[in-house]
Amino acid sequence: MPDSCAPTTRTRVVREPDRAVYDREAVYKILDEGFICHVGFNVDGQPFVIPTSYGRAGENLYIHGSAASRMLRNLDSGIPVCVTVTLLDGLVLARSIFNHSMNYRSVVILGTATAVQDPAEKLEALRSLSEHILPGRWAESRHPNERELKATTALRLPITEFSAKVRQGPPIDDEEDYAFRTWAGVIPLETVARAPVADARCPPEISAPGHVGAYSRKR
C-alpha cells in the first residue's frame, strides 16, 4: 500500500485543512497508541456511535464482541461504517475564550466491515486486539477455547479510506489580545500507567512480568 492516501471527497479535511494528515504511517501511529475507537453506523434511520476496543494488524482494523451483538450483526450486513480514534495531548489556554483549543491527534476511517470466518485469522484478530492493549500478554495468558471463539465475532475493516487531523503547539490569539494580561499556554496531558496491583487470588510468588511492570502507552 502507498505511504500516503489521496483524500476522497468524504475524507478530505475541509475545516482547517493545514491540520490534515494523509500519511499512512502517521495514521498507524495514532491508531497504535489509542485504546478506544468509536464506531458510527446507521440502522433504519437511527444513528449509533458505540465505543469499543480495537486492534490493528497491517492494513486491517479489527473489532470484536459477542456473537449476539447488535452492532456487529448490523455491520456484517454490509452497511457503511465510520470509525474514529482520538488522542488528547493537551489543553490550549488562549488569552481569549474564543481561541481556547486542544492539542489532539485523530483518525477517521470509512468503509464496510466483514466478519472474519477463517478460524486462523479469527484467532489472529483476537491476538492483535490483546497485543494492541498490552504487548506480551497473549503469550502468558490462556488462549480462547472453541466455545469462546464460537461466542465471539471479529470484524475486519480495511484501512483504505482514511484521514487524520492533528493540532499541536501553543495558543493562537488575535494580535490585539497578546497585550491582554492573563496567562496563556498549554497544559500537557498523557495516559500514565501506575504500579500494577495484583489480584487478591494471585499467588504471592508470582511477580508481575516485565510487560506489566514496565507498561507504557507510548509506542
Q: pLDDT per residue over 43-98, tens digit each?
A: 999 999 999 999 999 999 999 999 888 888 888 888 999 999 999 999 999 999 99
Residue 45 belongs to a domain: yes
By three-state DSSP, how is residue 115 classified? strand
Tell me how many degrees the CA angle 31-4-109 measures, rounded to the nearest 5: 40
Q: How far is CA 120 from CA 126, 155, 169, 198, in A?
A: 10, 14, 44, 32
* pLDDT tens column, 167-191: 999 999 999 999 999 999 999 999 8
Instruction: Supply the mean pLDDT for the chain.
Output: 93
What is d(CA 54, CA 34) in angstroms, rounded to the nearest whole number?
9
**37 part of a folded domain:** yes
How distant, in Å, are the alpha carbons of 38, 70, 169, 196, 201 from that of 51? 4, 14, 28, 25, 31
Side chain identity at residue 85, one-letter code: V
Q: What does pTM read for this prediction?
A: 0.90
With respect to residue 131, please indicate whether it lies within any of the assigned structural domains: yes
The pLDDT, as a whole number, for residue 155 is 95
**Domain contains 107:** yes
CATH of the domain at 63: 2.30.110.10
Does 96 map to a domain? yes
Number of domains in the chain: 1
Residue 6 domain-assigned (yes or no): no
Taking residue 82's Cβ as centre, other Cβ atoms within 10 Å add up to 17
pLDDT at 115 over 90: yes
**Do the domain assignments include residue 7?**
no
* Pair 90, 186: CB distance under 8 Å: yes
Considering the domain boundaries, does residue 144 fall inside one? yes
Tens digits of residue pLDDT in 22-44: 999 999 999 999 999 999 999 99
Enclosing domain of residue 180: 17-192+201-213
What's the confidence (pLDDT) of residue 1?
Answer: 47
